[in-house]
Amino acid sequence: MKPAEVTAVQDKDGMALLDLLGVGDGYRAGTLRCAVCGTPLREHCLGAASKRDDSYRFACERLDCLEEFHRA
């Protein structure tokens, strides 16, 4: 099966996506953090996600973090 690129997820489906990726519990506990600023994603919401090797990286919804995240 070829991997798919998802470009948008509706708010109502966000938690289901995080659970599917295996990080839903970390999000609910406040331990899932923005890869750029380190803020728990529960404080600034999930803005972006990407897979690198065998793990996922996440960024909060702050515009400066999203810009840096996409440059990296």
Domain boundaries along the sequence of the chain: 32-72
**pTM tops 0.85, yes or no:** no
Quickly state the pLDDT bin for 5 (edges 50, 70, 90). confident
* Token representation of residue 72: 């990296």
Residues 23 and 18: their CA atoms lie apart, in Å, by 5
Instruction: Please name the residues in contact with 34: beta carbons below 8 A apart, sequence gap of 6 or more.
Output: 40, 41, 44, 47, 58, 59, 60, 62, 65
| Residue range 55-59: mean pLDDT, rounded | 94
**Which of 2-6, 9-13, 49-53 tops mean pLDDT?**
49-53
Residues 24 and 19: their CA atoms lie apart, in Å, by 4
Residues 34 and 72: their CA atoms lie apart, in Å, by 13
Residue 3 has pLDDT above 70, yes or no: no
- Please state, for a pLDDT cut of 70, what percent of the chain lies above it: 94
8 Å CB contact between 66 and 47: yes
